[in-house]
Structure 1
Amino acid sequence: MKSESMQKHKKEAPKSIKGAVITLSDSKYRDFLKSVNNDISGTLIKDALEEKNEVVFYSIIPDDAGLLISMINHVIETYDVDVIITTGGTGIGPRDITIEALKEIFDKEINGFGEIFRYESYKELGTGAILSRATAGVYNEKLIVSLPGSPNAVKLGLSIILTELGHLVKHLRE
């Protein structure tokens, strides 16, 4: 049962937002430089956002923390964007740097997203869900959502976050 205040907030939330998508992957970046775009997860995010929203920026970059932060700052400074969704670089391998980079810049972390993501992953995958480090947070009054690179994980993350995007953006604009 939803609270009355949450229902009111959702009614007052923007019906459409502007989003950016950044894929982090060394291999997809190398392919992208050869004019081959095999970014299934980034495409899933773009397509899902474009159903009710606008995608104003999309890029594939290598797993590089400095480049990710520079790209996020570029997007915020150059585009009228409400949310930036990243995919990839969330694992525990040595090149997985997304979470550490984002936690350095977050003004606030939205812990509930990661918690719900891991809970839903656990229901599907069992204890292997402990590997997930999906997160969300606020930086410079913009929402940033970080999803794993797996297409199935992206679908799960989108199923959690898409219905709340307008609501979250409304709170950021207050």
Structure 2
Amino acid sequence: MSATSIQHKSEAPKKLNFAVITCSTSRYRLLQKDGKLDDPSGDKIVEKIKDAGYNVTFRRIVPDEKDVIQHTVMKALKSRKVDIIIMCGGTGISPKDVTIEAIKPMLDKEIDGFGEIFRFISYQEIGSSALLSRALAGTCKGKVVFCIPGSPQSVALSLERLILPEAAHILKHTRE
């Protein structure tokens, strides 16, 4: 790591507050029907964030609908208790996968390297199926938004190898 990166990371915020938004029509319907939060990937995200010493201050499950996704993200963006938003699910290529279509127009800047490196690492682990991921990250209104696939393996990879090691550093630059 370069001296500049080390310096920037040392100047980055130490306390981060996350929003976790799971995009899944089936999980949303189950929540509406039974009132039970059945979201293993979202639970794994929360666990990894807390294990890193950060907080989760906003959590939702939404259906795969662009307007609902955008409305929920806007609520998180307006919250003073949210620094970083993690969108889980809806990043594939099926017609119902609309997370990227909902989020991309909202971003001030895209962090292209996130998706590129995510797919590179995924390729090393799962092979050519990594092509199907449209993982995305960017900045919006002084906050950072990550869109990751909903599989438990993708959650672990993205949080452990990319998001948590760089979240504070990215947020620092976003707010300069």
TM-score (norm 1): 0.96
Once the two structures are superposed, residues 15-63 of structure 1 have per-residue CA deviations (whole angstroms, 9 ceiling, x without a partner) of 2201100000010011111123221111111111122111110010100
Shift of 1:141: 1.4
Give the match for residue 88 of structure 2.
87
Separation in 1, partners of 2:21, 2:121 = 23
- Number of residue pairs matched? 173
Shift of 1:12: 1.1
Q: More displaced, 124-133 or 45-54?
A: 45-54
Which residue number in structure 2 is paired with residue 172 of structure 1? 174
Unpaired stretches in structure 2, ≥5 consecutive residues: none
* Amino acid corresponding to residue 166 of structure 1 in structure 2: A
Q: Secondary structure at the match of 2:157?
A: helix
Q: Tell me, what secondary structure is at the counterpart of 1:84?
A: strand
Percent identical across equivalent pairs? 45
Unpaired runs of 5+ residues, structure 1, are none
Q: 3-state DSSP class of the match of 1:167?
A: helix
Is the contact between residue 56 and residue 79 of structure 1 (CA under 8 Å) also seen in structure 2? Answer: no
How many angstroms apart in 1 are the aligned matches of 2:58 and 2:2?
35
| Runs of at least 4 residues off by over 4 Å | none
The secondary structure found in structure 1 opposite 2:129 is: helix
Deviation at 1:80, TM superposition (A): 2.3
Give how far 1:114 is off: 0.4
Match of 2:44 in 1: 44
Distance 2:119 2:166 in 1: 17
- 1:20-39 matches, cutoff 5 A: 20-33=19-32, 34-39=34-39
